Amino acid sequence: MTSVPCDVKDLKPPAEGQLIEIVNGQIKVPDNPVIAYIEGDGIGPEIVRSAKAVIDAAVKKAYGNKRRIVWWEIVAGEKAQEHCGELLPKATIEAIRMTKAAMKGPLTTPVGGGYRSLNVAIRMALDLYANIRPVRYYGQPAPHRYADKVNFVIFRENTEDLYAGIEWPPGSPEAQKVMEFLKKEFGVELRPNTGIGVKPISEFATKRLARKAFQWAIKHKNRVVTIMHKGNIMKYTEGAFMKWAYEVATTEFREYIVTEQELYEKYNGQLPEGKILVNDRIADNMLQQIITRPWDYEIILAPNVNGDYISDEANALVGGIGMAAGMNAGDYIAVAEPVHGTAPKYAGKDVANPTAEILSGVLLIAEHLGWSEVGKIIEEAIRRAIADKKVTQDLARHMPGVTPLKTSEYTQALIEYIESM
């Protein structure tokens, strides 16, 4: 195995590539950018290998020899434990800070004990505050009658809400102290033996996420951005999230935006060409609306917990987790990772579906680096493979009479589609 960096002082990106730079607040991507990758645990190494190969083929198709990605392996999880004696070496975080772009496979998180999520640790360490999850239909077998109408991008806040990890076990001295404080200061009495969690939602974190979502909507000519919240009940957290998101829309993006109220008062219910409708939906309604009226939604802006629920539901509409891509982005750094986990039962068997990892890589290359041609090529290859029934077992089992391809065979098929375009 090639050596992987365990120590910050040994960090040396591959000499044949150049680092992405920030110039005047903009990302400047060289023609041979160094991109870090983490294989991850379980099925991670197989699907990351597949994603790298498919991306390389598409970059070659799009730009010939003019551009290429120089991949740099860094480690986290079991491989890091084995080679560096720790699960998340500081060198890994620093390497991503250097490259500003990374693609990772899934990492194991023990349930109900053991270490905290390495994925969350990476997002927190690099302040990757926006979790961006496109949900698209590529013709795969899907349980929903309107699957072909699904085309969402979910912007989920990544650093706050009940995920912030501010919680204390029932009966603990900390919980007891908080309960005493609430009783003494506010006359709020909780039952004995109550677990307590804190739900922080700030103006700063809400507004920077909203900004990213509106910038995306403008760039991609989306027609609607919907704020998902439960502000009728949680007025000062989710209600505030809604208010701040509207504030960003109507102050920073005024010339692009039409609110729902304006739509009826000024425009007779017809959205003018080139404008973006911003509206909001209460979370429970939103969860059913994307099933009953998926065509009404494009960009969904949500606090952390709502974003978690709706992205799984949305992905289920179009056939599930093997296709579900994601990217965690900060102001200048992005780390792509699929929504799914390590699928331990398939690890090492060459059967997992690499599409979610590939599409996560597409987000990184097409959106973060701005090499959009690569995204178009890969998405078209995936569409053709599915139309020709060349799919892995998770999709094949819903397609009568179809023999599944192995991960490596499916990867090869995608590369052949790309080369023949």
- The catalytic residue positions are 163, 230, 284, 308
Backbone angles phi, psi at 143, to 5 degrees: -75, -15
User: In the bound complex, what is the minimum distance in angstroms from residue 143's beta carbon to ligand NAI?
Assistant: 15
Residues 6+ apart with CB under 8 A from 196: 167, 168, 175, 178, 179, 190
Q: Give yes or no for a contact between 138 and 323, defined as CB atoms under 8 angstroms apart.
A: yes
Nearer to ligand NAI, 199 or 340 (CB): 340
Nearer to ligand NAI, 11 or 53 (CB): 53
d(CA 313, CA 388): 27
- Considering the rule CB under 6 A, would residue 356 count as an interface residue with ligand NAI? yes
Q: Is 106 in the site for ligand NAI (CB under 6 A)?
A: yes
Q: Which CB sits closer to ligand NAI, 13 or 105?
A: 105
Q: Binding to ligand NAI (CB under 6 A): which residues in 266-285?
A: none
Q: Closest approach of Cβ 232 to ligand NAI, in Å?
A: 31
User: Which residues make Cβ contacts (< 8 Å) with residue 83, sequence separation at least 6?
Assistant: 1, 4, 6, 75
Radius of gyration over every alpha carbon of the chain, rounded to an integer in angstroms = 22
Residue nearest to ligand NAI (CB): 341
- Tell the smallest beta-carbon distance from residue 167 to ligand NAI (Å): 18
Q: Is 109 in the site for ligand NAI (CB under 6 A)?
A: yes
Please give the backbone phi and psi of residue 181, each rounded to the nearest 5 degrees, phi first: -60, -45
Handedness of CA 115, 109, 118, 47 (dihedral sign): positive
| Token representation of residue 265 | 């008062």
The least distance separating ligand NAI from the CB of residue 402, rounded to whole angstroms, comes to 15
Could you say whether residue 394 binds ligand NAI (CB under 6 A)? yes
DSSP 224-282: EEEEEE-TTTSTTTHHHHHHHHHHHHHHHSGGGEEEHHHHHHTTTT-PPTT-EEEEEEE
Gap between the Cα atoms of 185 and 142, Å rounded: 53
C-alpha closest to that of 73 among 144, 116, 14, 138: 14
* Count, residues near ligand NAI per rule CB under 6 A: 20
Out of 237, 315, 328, 342, the residue judged to bind ligand NAI by CB under 6 A: 342
**Site membership for ligand NAI, residue 322 (CB under 6 A):** yes
Q: How far apart are CA 21 and CA 23, in angstroms?
A: 6
Binding mask 117-146 for ligand NAI (x = CB under 6 A): --x---------------------------
Stretch that binds ligand NAI, among 288-296, 352-360, 378-386, 409-417 (CB under 6 A): 352-360
Q: Is 202 in the site for ligand NAI (CB under 6 A)?
A: no
Q: In the complex with ligand NAI, which residue's Cβ is closer, 108 or 306? A: 108
Taking the complex as a whole, the smallest distance from the CB of residue 265 to ligand NAI amounts, in Å, to 44
What CA–CA distance (Å, rounded) separates 160 from 273? 35
What minimum distance in Å lies between the beta carbon of 353 and ligand NAI? 4
Neighbours of 156 (CB within 10 A): 27
Does 340 bind ligand NAI (CB under 6 A)? Our answer is yes
Amino acid at 200: P
Structure tokens at 404: 């599944």
List the one residue from 13, 341, 361, 375 that touches ligand NAI (CB under 6 A): 341
105 neighbors 122 (Cβ within 8 angstroms): no
User: Which amino acid is residue 258, in one-letter code?
Assistant: V
Residue 220 binds ligand NAI (CB under 6 A): no
Q: Which is nearer to ligand NAI, 282 or 316 (CB)?
A: 316
Query: In the complex, what is the shortest distance from the CB of residue 150 to ligand NAI, in angstroms, rounded to a whole number?
Result: 19
- Give the separation between CA 293 and CA 291, rounded to whole angstroms: 6
Q: Which stretch binds ligand NAI (CB under 6 A): 122-130, 166-174, 181-189, 336-344?
A: 336-344
Which parts of this chain interact with ligand NAI (CB under 6 A)? 43, 47, 106-109, 119, 321-322, 337, 340-343, 345-346, 352-353, 356, 394
